[in-house]
Every structure is written in C-alpha cells, then in structure tokens.
Amino acid sequence: MSIDRQSHLKRLEDESIHIMREVAAEFHNPVMLYSIGKDSSVMLHLAMKAFYPSKPPFPLMHVDTTWKFREMIAFRDETARRLGLELITWTNAEGKAAGVNPFDHGSSYYTHVMKTEALKQALTHYGFDAAFGGARRDEEKSRAKERVFSFRTETHAWDPKNQRPELWRLYNARIHKGESIRVFPLSNWTELDIWQYILAEEIPIVPLYFAAKRPVVERDGMLIMKDDDRLVLKDGETVQERLVRFRTLGCYPLTGALESDAATLPEIVREMLIARTSERSGRLIDHDESASMEKKKREGYF
Amino acid sequence: MAELAIAEKAEAFVDYLAAQERKGLLRFLTCGSVDDGKSTLIGRLLYDTKLIFEDQLAALERDSRRHGTTGEDIDLALLVDGLEAEREQGITIDVAYRFFTTDKRKFIVADTPGHEQYTRNMATGASTADVAVLLVDARHGVAVQTRRHAFIASLLGIRHAVLAVNKIDLVDFDQDRFEEIRADFECFAEGLKFDTLVSIPLSARYGHNVLGRSDSMPWYEGPTLVEHLETVQIEDRVGDQPFRMPVQWVNRPDLNFRGFSGTIASGAVHVGDSVASAVSGRTSTVARIVTMDGDLPEAGAGDAVTLTLADEIDVSRGDLLAAADARPDVADQFSAHLVWMSDVPLFPGRPYLIKIGAKSITASVTEIKHKIDVNSFEQLAAKELHLNEIGVVNVSLSAPVAFDPYERNRDTGAFIIIDRQTNATVGAGMIDFALRRATNIHWQALDVDKASRSALKGQKPAILWFTGLSGAGKSTVANLVEKRLHAMGRHTYVLDGDNVRHGLNRDLGFTDADRVENIRRVAEAAKLFVDAGLIVLVSFISPFRAERRMARDLVGADEFLEVFVDTPIDVCRTRDPKGLYAKADAGQIKNFTGVDSAYETPEHAEIRLDTVAATPEQMADEVIAELRTRGLIEV
C-alpha cells in the first residue's frame, strides 16, 4: 500500500523532500536530529526517499538523556543498522556526572541540562550548520509561527521577532560562520497526517505506540511506566500491569501512558480521531509554565 | 458473529481512512485590518471543525481571563496568537500557519497580520496561498487596509478572493449594509486579477455562516465560508504550463548513476520527452523518472522526483530543465515587481544576492521605474524603496538565468533578495518580463587588451581604493602616492570624490541612494581605467561596505587594494580642513558621514593607515612598499 498520488499526503511528502534536498545542496555539514518517535520515523523515511538511490548525505544524531525507554534505544540502533546510516549519539557528560535526573531535579531543569544544553554541546562539537528536526506547526502555538528554515545565532538562540520572511519554496540558507539553521521539513504535517502516512507507507515505529500490558505507576495524575529500577516507588505507590500505550515518546519518567486497547495502526488512528486530550499533554515538561515552549525555543530547544 | 462485526468495523474504518487520504489540499490566507477579527475567525474554524481538544480548551479558558478582550466569553483569537509579545499587545505580528480538515478537504491557513508595518508578512502568507479571505468589519466597511491586502493578494498571484463581511451581528444582520459593502468592494476589485470573488456575511465570534448556516440571515442564499472553501475550484494553473524543473541536487550514488533531483514546477514529464537545460541550451531525452517507490512513466507539477537523461550533458544545481519545444526566457536583465522587506532601504546599484529556483546569483536593481502607493495605486517616482513598499524595477544579474513571467509560473518567476552582509531576506520579487537589451549590447571584443596595454607601460594595473571619514587624510596620502609612482615612471590616475562630483556625478546629492550611485559610477570608471592599464587611486569616503565590495568585485582579485585611512572622528573634527564638520554639527549639512550618516569600518582592508601614529610621507611609503610586495610595481 502506498499513498494516492493526488492526495494531500503526497503534496506534504513532496514539500518535505524539496526542503531536505535544499539543505543537502546548500549546507556544508547538516545533521538529522533523530528522536526515535513517530515523527522522526516519518522524517527519516522521507529522507530515504529524497535522496534515493543515494543514501541521505548526512548522519543521524540522537541526544541521549540516558532516560529513554529501553525499547526506544533498541529500535534506534536497529533502524540505523537496517538503513545503513551513520548514527551519532550524544549525552551531556557533565550533566550525567552530576547525576542530573528527572526525579531529583525537576523536569524543567533536567530537560534544560540533558536535552537543550546537550543538543547545543553536540551541535557545537560537530560544527553542524544545519539540523533537521521533526517538529510540526500543529503541535503548539509558538511552533505555528516558526519558519521552515529557522535561523539560530552563534549561541543557538532563536529570536521570534527577527525571523526571515519565507516566501514560495525559496528558502534562504545563507549564514555566517558559527551560525546555524534548524530545519523543520514536517512543518505542515498534522498528527493525523503523520499516522495516515505511517499506515500507508508501512513505516516501522517503536512498539511502545501500540497497546500492551506494561508495568505502570500512577504518579501526579499520570501513568508512568517502570522501565527500569531507577524509578523508585514512593509511599503508597504500586506497580500495576495495565493495558497501555504511548501517544508520544520521550524520557520514560516524564512520559505518561494512556490506557488503551489500540494494538494496530488503524485502531490508533481511530482512537486519535476521537481523542479528547491533545498530544503534548502526555509530556510533563509543557505544564511547567504558560508559553514554556517559546521560552525553551529561545534558549535553543528544538 | 461479534468478531465478524468488529472486523467489518475495522475494515470500514480503513476505508474511511483511505477516503480521508484522498482529500485534496487547499492553502488560503486570511487578512484584514486590525480588529476585523482574523484570529477569531480562525479560532472559530478550528473550534467548529472539532480540532480543539479538551485540554487546549482548558488552557484557553485560563488565558482568556488574563489577556482576553471578550469579557466572560472564550476569546477564540487566543488560540492562534502564539507569541508572548502578541498576547501582550493584543495584535498578531507574525504569520501563523494553522491546520484543519473537513470531510472534503484539508486546509492550511496562513493567518497574516493587519498592521501596515507587517505587510511583508502578508506577502509571505500570500506567496503560497490559492485563496485569500479578506475580512472587513461590517460596521466600518471596506477600509484602506482591505484594499491594500486585496492588492497584495492579487499581486502575489492569488486568483480567488472571499470578502468576509464579519461582525454582521453588530449591524443587526442588515442585508442593505452587506450589499453596500459588497458593491463597494466589487467596484474596487475590478482593477485586480481575481477570477472569482464571493462575498459572505458572517460572524466569527458567534459562528454565523462560518461552518453552519445562520438563521439570522434568511436573505442570504450563498454558501457559508467553509462550504465555499470546500468547493472553490482551484484550476490547475501550473499543470497546463510547459515542463519546468529547477535542479536542486545532482544525485550521484556511484559512477553508474547520475540523476537530477528537483520538484517539478509546472507541466508534466514523460520518459522519452526531449528536455533542455535552459541556460546552456543543451538538450537530451528523459531516460528514467526515479523514485524510491519505483520508476514512473510520467510525473507532474508538484512531484519531487529524480530524472536521468539519455546523454551526458552538463547540468548542475541551479539549472532549469525545461521542455525542449517550449523553453523559458533566458536573460541577464528583467523587469519585476518588488516588495521590500527590510528596514534598510533598497538602493539601485547596490549588489545583492538573489535566489530564483535553485539558483543564487549576484544582482542589482539598475532602476526603480516607480513605486506603487498601495492605497491609491498611484505610481510615484522613487530613488529608493523602503520597508513594505512595492516598486516596479529593472534587475541586472551577473550572468543570464532562466525564468518565466510570474503571471504564468509562480515557481520559476519568483525570487527573493538576500543582503550579502547580513544574509537577511530583504525583498521578494515577481518577474514581469525579460529585458532584451542584454542580447543587443554585446561586449565589444578588442584586439588590444588590458594585458597588452599594461605590458607597454611595464606595470600591472590596479585600483587603490582609499576609504575613510571626511578629513581623514585620504586625498593627502593618495596625492603623495601618485607623486611617487609618477616619479618612478608609472602610469596613474586619481579619482577624487570632490572632483568627480563636479562633473560625472554632478547630478547626485548625499542621500544614501545617491551615495550608492556615486560609488557605482566611480567604481565603473575605475574599472575602465584599469582596463586601460593604469594604476588608479580612488579617494572616496565610500561609507558602505556593500559598495566597496561591489567595486572590488568589478576587477580581478589581485587588482583591488582597499586602503583604510583610519582616523578617529574626533581627530577629523579637529582638523576639519574644509570646515564641513562645523557646518554639519550646526545642522547646515544633512547626511554627513560620521555625524548623521553611518560609516561602516572596513573589515578586511589590505592596508590600514593609522594617521595619528604616522606622517603622510611615512604612510605613502607604506603603500608603495605594499605595492612592491604584491608585485604590482617592480622592485
């Protein structure tokens, strides 16, 4: 099964491929940020299409907080091997040495150190001048106004008031040394588009998206999976086997499961269409403050 | 039995998904004056099409209490005003893209700002839209902003317009008022290029005629806004055009495969079709249309593909592949409409980078024919274009490129202008037609050339470009250097700022635009002297980096030496040899460099002279020594 050549998915696919080819042609040292989630899976699949029969002319990079689900890491390594792509992994060594973790340091500080800072370290270390991210404009309000080619200063900062106008398909890729561009080829996709495309193109995704019996703990109104022994139970908490799945994937202590029996892609899509909670509410980090995404993005978060 | 029912249900759902997938895509933009309710309308569309989830609603109710302007009701506009600054100011200051879907189509909405100073964002949103929804407040009718936005939409190639007469509830759903606004707008829009124009009375806040029909306006028999957007026929404008594909990337996995990757801008291509690389004119036939999903027999506009050709012809990124029997224009000059998007004005003569298709090339505007007052549509004379101004200009490129008129092809007829120093996108252009002058004026090939002329003089020609503030000592040092060269038997000429302004540049003043043109003429004159084999000493304040760079680019890399005569402004002011600083400080001279006009310090001057530390004679020696080091004069 593949997508209808006249459909809106085909148009979105074409647009994403166009964007990726511009980056490959205009930048010296691009990288694709690979977060292992469904959006990254779609982005990677599009990259394989964009350069076929060549391989994508850039490596994948995963910023590993050391708190990802084990199944994600296994899937990541298997994907890179299956596609024959170079995979770079990066962990904030100082943060790790200092023992920064989501339990003791709060999700906001932890995310800043192990994700935002780690990403900036990695980009600087490798001197990447363009970095693909899988963010979509429908995810969040400040994302809705971000460019496809999003300019970052030498310190990786984003200035929402000083964005370059972006017209037609003409992306301005000019930067000075040290500056960089974050590129969002999935800008115009919605969550539903992503799922429909995964279904139509039979793109492999991490099994955590499908419902299964998993050990979870109820904490702060969320179901947190006990993925390893680092999750220490608090008083009154018990581990229960429940039929759950994940709508988004991230660090397991910060990612809420939802109770579901959707075990196939059509069931997931159907569940999504009648869902009454939007996507990012499964992630603790956005609850911290209003306009938190805009603030994080200014600081260099994807 | 129960299992069968579930299976059937699942199958039905897969069918449903397949139907969803076959939906078309429509991109439209909303625009209107401040407070006409654009954001509210989009919020309403998202709300009514059930894409607003429960927790977004909860967050919305919280935010409404803090920033909301609708009292106790939910403020739908807060759904779309994303950035903190906007929420504080209560206006939309950037383009936001929103998505919703109905049973018939998927929609991408560009919500564009109404404020005058954000016209550039409106043009941005319009560049990819097929339909423009223009909002007016039923109480105020067609405003100056409405006309401006309609004009920009039409200019950017949008052919379908909707006049959304919003807040109709506030005029008691009055049919006469609606008809009055409709007639007013239709009269105005006759001068624009819309193929369809539909006026709809609605209330975004209360949802009348947005998705569902309104009971309050039985007199209105037309479609609701969503009904219209679901059904408006966007003709396949590019599908019927000849084949065009800008080559983005040469695909070379190994020695046996050489493909050209790009997105088809117009027309269709089949295996066996004859295609040309437009600028070189070389032709070949399409051997394969390659995709990861298998080779295709044909591909059409919008498809991102990789073509292989039957012959090894030279094709690289930036080239335009075109139907061999219907080729695009190829020229190094064209006439275009330009929307200026930068705080720094456009100056004719200043070199910029333009990007057209996958091609980036140096270009300059040679002439602003006129600018257009977007409120009255009057053509006004202009020497420069300012932020948000629209002009008709002639553009000159450093080499010929392939293009089509924008009117015919939005992809191959559009370009952006990039500032070479800041790398900012400063303008957007739409090509009207090629200027044929390029093909009529051929460079006259002469038998005696630069090399033979300079060989006769026993020297290498060069430009010594002295730049610095007024009173820095440029002319003093240049004069001494020329005297020494002359004594050595070298052939020289001095172009001095003040002297040239008495003749060649007599018609120019001291505005930024005139300064750019002043330097352009001097640089071109210096280039001719270099061609004559002379060592040219140019002594000009030349305050802007862009023009010094333009001068540098006119001659060979080893033929240009920038001499920065570095004197602090305080020292210049004290010296004040011509009494100009005193006059400028007294306000008697406008646009005086260093006083009320900027001087951009050279970053990579070949020679920097510190006039406080050395005498003019010492500095002249320094320059001569550098000329020897570089082999421009013999030791």
Report percent pLDDT > 90 for chain A: 50
User: What pLDDT score was predicted for residue B72?
Assistant: 43
User: Are residues B196 and B338 located together in one domain of the fold?
Assistant: no
Respond yes or no: is residue B274 known to be catalytic. no
Best of B29, B46, B93, B94 to disrupt the A interface (most A CBs within 10 Å) is B94
Among candidates B470, B469, B517, B467, which has minimal Cα distance to B495?
A: B467
User: Are residues B124 and B208 located together in one domain of the fold?
Assistant: yes
Confidence of residue B92 (pLDDT cuts 50, 70, 90): very low
CA distance A284 to A252: 11
Residue B168 has pLDDT above 90, yes or no: yes
> With an 8 Å Cβ cutoff, are B124 and A290 in contact?
no
Confidence of residue A240 (pLDDT cuts 50, 70, 90): very high
Q: Do residues B148 and B192 make contact, with C-beta atoms less than 8 angstroms apart?
A: no
Token readout for B44 is 């309403």
Among candidates B87, B53, B94, which has minimal Cα distance to A291?
A: B87
Q: Do residues A206 and A247 make contact, with C-beta atoms less than 8 angstroms apart?
A: no
**CATH number of the domain to which B282 belongs:** 2.40.30.10
Confidence of residue B544 (pLDDT cuts 50, 70, 90): confident
The residue whose two tokens read 């001279």 is B589
User: Are residues B177 and B36 located together in one domain of the fold?
Assistant: yes
User: Are residues B214 and B97 located together in one domain of the fold?
Assistant: yes
User: Are residues B403 and B500 located together in one domain of the fold?
Assistant: no
Catalytic residue among B342, B364, B542, B597: B542
Q: pLDDT digit string (tens) for A30-59?
A: 999 999 999 999 999 999 999 999 999 999
In a domain, B634, yes or no: no
User: Are residues B178 and B261 located together in one domain of the fold?
Assistant: no
Residue B506 has pLDDT above 70, yes or no: yes
Who's near B5: CB < 8 A, 6+ residues apart?
none
Domains and CATH numbers, chain A: 8-197+291-299 (3.40.50.620), 206-287 (no CATH)
Token readout for A118 is 């780690």
In a domain, B402, yes or no: yes
Residue B445 has pLDDT above 70, yes or no: no
User: What pLDDT score was predicted for residue B156?
Assistant: 93
In a domain, B11, yes or no: no
CA distances from residue A20 to A182, B129, B289 in whole angstroms, order as listed: 12, 22, 19
Q: What average pLDDT does the segment B481-501 reach?
A: 87
What one-character DSSP code corresponds to residue A277? S
Domain extent at residue B465: 450-629
What one-character DSSP code corresponds to residue A185? T
Strands B414-418 and B320-323: unpaired
Residue A247 has pLDDT above 70, yes or no: yes
User: What pLDDT score was predicted for residue B68?
Assistant: 46
Strand, coil or helix: what is A12? helix
Among candidates A289, A229, A219, A228, which has minimal Cα distance to A254?
A: A219
CA distances from residue B483 to A43, B399, B456, B472, B487 in whole angstroms, order as listed: 67, 39, 21, 19, 6
Tell me whether A11 touches chain B (CB under 8 Å): yes
User: What pLDDT score was predicted for residue B385?
Assistant: 93
User: What pLDDT score was predicted for residue B114?
Assistant: 60
Angle, helices B512-531/B450-457, rounded to nearest 10 degrees: 70
Q: What average pLDDT does the segment A217-230 reach?
A: 88
Token readout for A244 is 């759950």
**B31-40, B96-105, B397-406, B474-483, range with the lowest pLDDT:** B31-40
**B70-79, B155-164, B472-481, range with the lowest pLDDT:** B70-79
Q: What average pLDDT does the segment B223-242 reach?
A: 84
The residues pairing with B538 across neighbouring beta strands, listed in sequence order, are B465, B495
Q: Is the peptide bond before A30 cis (omega within 30 degrees of 0)?
A: no
In a domain, B239, yes or no: no
For residue B46, the chain A residue with the least C-alpha distance is A138
Report percent pLDDT > 70 for chain A: 86
Q: What average pLDDT does the segment A141-161 reach?
A: 80
User: What pLDDT score was predicted for residue A285?
Assistant: 46
> With an 8 Å Cβ cutoff, are B249 and A187 in contact?
no
Task: Burial-class residue B76 by CB neighbours within 10 Å (0-12, 13-18, 19+).
Answer: buried
Q: pLDDT digit string (tens) for A84-109?
A: 999 999 999 888 888 888 888 888 88
In a domain, B10, yes or no: no
Q: Do residues B590 and B510 make contact, with C-beta atoms less than 8 angstroms apart?
A: yes
H or E segment to which residue B282 belongs: none
- Provide the sign of the torsion angle of the four alpha carbons A288, A289, A294, A298, taken in this order: negative
User: Are residues B535 and B502 located together in one domain of the fold?
Assistant: yes
For residue A292, the chain B residue with the least C-alpha distance is B84
Residue B243 has pLDDT above 90, yes or no: yes
Who's near B589: CB < 8 A, 6+ residues apart?
B510, B580, B583, B595
Query: Among B274, B292, B323, where does a domain finish?
Result: B323
CA distance B540 to B602: 13
Query: Among B207, B231, B255, where does a domain finish?
Result: B231
User: Are residues B32 and B98 located together in one domain of the fold?
Assistant: yes
Q: Which residues of A touch B262 (CB under 8 A)?
A: 21
CA distance B531 to B527: 6
For residue B429, the chain A residue with the least C-alpha distance is A167
User: What pLDDT score was predicted for residue A111?
Assistant: 87
Angle, helices A38-51/A8-26, rounded to nearest 10 degrees: 70
Q: What average pLDDT does the segment B49-54 reach?
A: 55
Q: Which residues of B touch A269 (CB under 8 A)?
A: 13, 17
In a domain, B444, yes or no: no
Q: Is B300 flagged in the annotation as binding? A: no
CA distance B573 to B580: 9
Highest mean pLDDT of the ranges A86-90, A217-221, B60-64: A86-90
Highest mean pLDDT of the ranges B214-218, B351-355, B486-490, B515-519: B351-355
Strands B607-610 and B560-566: parallel
Residue B207 has pLDDT above 70, yes or no: yes
User: Are residues B478 and B618 located together in one domain of the fold?
Assistant: yes
Q: pLDDT digit string (tens) for B574-590?
A: 888 888 888 888 888 87
In a domain, B442, yes or no: no
CA distance B163 to B135: 6
User: What pLDDT score was predicted for residue B16?
Assistant: 67
Residue B553 has pLDDT above 70, yes or no: yes
CA distances from residue B11 to A193, A270, B5, B15, B568 in whole angstroms, order as listed: 19, 12, 10, 6, 81
Interface of A with B in 75-114 (CB under 8 A): none
Nearest-Cα distance to chain A for B306, in Å, is 8
The residue whose two tokens read 């997508």 is A3
Residue B91 has pLDDT above 50, yes or no: no
Q: Do residues A100 and A110 make contact, with C-beta atoms less than 8 angstroms apart?
A: yes
Among candidates A59, A96, A94, A100, which has minimal Cα distance to A80?
A: A59
**CATH number of the domain to which B99 belongs:** 3.40.50.300
What DSSP letter does each residue of B369-428 carry, written as one string? EEEE-TTT--EE--SSB-TT-EEEEEEEEEEEEEE--TTT-TTTSEEEEE-TTT--EEEE
Query: Among B437, B469, B498, where does a domain finish?
Result: B437
CA distance B55 to B319: 49
Phi, psi for residue A273 in degrees, rounded to 5: -65, -30
Confidence of residue B440 (pLDDT cuts 50, 70, 90): very low
In a domain, B283, yes or no: yes
Confidence of residue B20 (pLDDT cuts 50, 70, 90): low
Structural domains of chain B, count = 4
User: Are residues B248 and B354 located together in one domain of the fold?
Assistant: no
User: Are residues B490 and B363 located together in one domain of the fold?
Assistant: no
CB atoms under 10 Å from CB of B417, counted, come to 25
Q: Is B468 flagged in the annotation as binding? A: yes
User: Are residues B348 and B269 located together in one domain of the fold?
Assistant: no
Mean pLDDT of chain B: 84
Residue B6 has pLDDT above 50, yes or no: no
